[in-house]
């Protein structure tokens, strides 16, 4: 397998720094640098781009992003044990890797965003992945500080992110993602690609900000989708009863006999805007 840089193989890095994977931190490491390059390439050209990465771990994806020419990587890692391994990468790419020790859920990425293009690329810890995605969908300013999000999830979550009303996986997450982004499934990654292997298949999802944003208050949108999908088998006249039921649906021009899973994101926004 061709090396992507002159740094040691990740297996050696992990052994030398004693980075045995911890389940509580969602640690499933990718050791194949060709695979991490494939993930990084999904984000498109990286020259001149600052990349935010969450959970670099021993640095497999970080190395791929840097090898593909990103101007800078700013990586947030919670596990202090990984910092010496990441410092070796920072030495190899002088001035191009900044590592912040901390919890990505408490990190204000928007405030850290520099001038110029920013992309987010991450093999996310599964226990915090969905919440991080939601945080990135709700920055203070829109268009957002990021040009794209290229993120690894459990396949099941990935399917919910990209789902629309033609799809069984459509639900609250699909509406929220569809409201602000165009989300696409890039490719699957089998459990054996990770050390240790997780129980399920993973998927890389690529999200771009919607070119025509749908004006809608997210708290209202959440109230509608929560009620509608909370009783997804019921007709909307029933599931949206507490929000205005038939009268609300009549104002929105939506047949009250329909079910949540048949409504487009635009229709959910139309209802939310009438609350």
Task: Pick the closer one to ligand SAM by CB: 26 or 174.
Answer: 26
Stretch that binds ligand SAM, among 53-61, 165-173, 184-192, 216-224 (CB under 6 A): 53-61
137, 109 Cβ separation under 8 angstroms: no
Instruction: Say how many CA atoms lie within 13 Å of 165 toward its Cβ.
Output: 14
The answer to the question of residue 202 lying near ligand SAM (CB under 6 A) is no
The answer to the question of residue 221 lying near ligand SAM (CB under 6 A) is no
The answer to the question of residue 154 lying near ligand SAM (CB under 6 A) is no
The answer to the question of residue 128 lying near ligand SAM (CB under 6 A) is yes
Please provide the DSSP assignment of 43-72 as one string: T---BT-EEEEE--TTSHHHHHHHHTTBSE
Measured distance CA(275)–CA(273) in Å, rounded: 6
Show contacts with ligand SAM in window 80-99 (CB under 6 A): 82
- Report in angstroms how near the CB of residue 36 gets to ligand SAM at its nearest: 6
28 is in an annotated binding site: yes
- 94: number of Cβ within 10 Å: 7
86 is in an annotated binding site: no
34 is in an annotated binding site: no
Q: Please write down the long-range contacts of 88-95, taking CB distance under 8 Å and 24 or more positions apart.
A: 88/7, 88/13, 89/7, 89/59, 89/62, 89/63, 92/5, 92/6, 92/7, 93/66
Nearest Cα to 231, choosing from 163, 172, 160? 172
- The one-character DSSP state at 9 is P
Q: How far apart are the first and last CA of the chain?
A: 58
123 is in an annotated binding site: yes
Tell me how many residues contact ligand SAM (CB under 6 A).
23
Among 43, 52, 57, 181, binds ligand SAM (CB under 6 A): 57
Number of alpha helices (DSSP H) and beta strands (DSSP E) in the chain: 12, 9
The answer to the question of residue 29 lying near ligand SAM (CB under 6 A) is yes
Stretch that binds ligand SAM, among 71-79, 156-164, 167-175, 253-261 (CB under 6 A): 71-79
Task: Pick the closer one to ligand SAM by CB: 54 or 254.
Answer: 54
Site of tokens 């009620």: 227
Among 78, 119, 155, 180, binds ligand SAM (CB under 6 A): 78
Residues tagged in the binding site annotation? 28, 30, 55, 77, 103, 123
Give the footprint of ligand SAM on this chain (CB under 6 A). 25-30, 54-57, 60-61, 76-79, 82, 103-105, 123, 125, 128
């Amino acid at each position: 397998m061709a090396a992507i840089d002159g740094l040691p193989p990740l297996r050696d890095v992990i052994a030398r720094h004693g980075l045995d994977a911890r389940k509580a931190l969602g640690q499933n490491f990718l050791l194949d640098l060709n695979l991490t390059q494939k993930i990084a390439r999904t984000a498109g050209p990286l020259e001149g781009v600052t990349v935010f990465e969450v959970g670099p771990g021993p640095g497999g994806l970080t190395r791929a992003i840097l090898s593909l020419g990103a101007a800078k990587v700013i990586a947030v890692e919670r596990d202090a044990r990984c910092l010496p391994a990441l410092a070796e990468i920072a030495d190899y790419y002088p001035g191009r890797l900044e590592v912040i020790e901390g919890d990505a859920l408490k990190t204000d990425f928007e405030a850290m965003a520099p001038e110029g293009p920013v992309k987010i690329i991450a093999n996310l810890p599964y226990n915090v992945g969905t919440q991080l995605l939601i945080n990135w969908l709700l920055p203070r300013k829109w268009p957002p500080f990021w040009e794209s999000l290229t993120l690894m999830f459990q396949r099941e979550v990935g399917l919910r992110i990209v789902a629309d009303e033609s799809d069984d996986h459509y639900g609250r997450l699909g509406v929220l993602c569809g409201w602000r982004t165009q989300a696409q499934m890039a490719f699957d990654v089998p459990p054996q690609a990770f050390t240790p292997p997780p129980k399920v298949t993973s998927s890389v999802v690529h999200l771009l900000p919607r070119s025509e944003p749908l004006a809608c208050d997210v708290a209202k949108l959440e109230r509608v989708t929560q009620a509608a999908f909370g009783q997804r088998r019921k007709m909307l006249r029933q599931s949206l009863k507490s929000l205005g039921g038939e009268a609300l649906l009549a104002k929105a021009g939506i047949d009250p006999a329909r079910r949540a899973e048949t409504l487009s994101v635009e229709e959910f926004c139309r209802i939310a805007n009438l609350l």
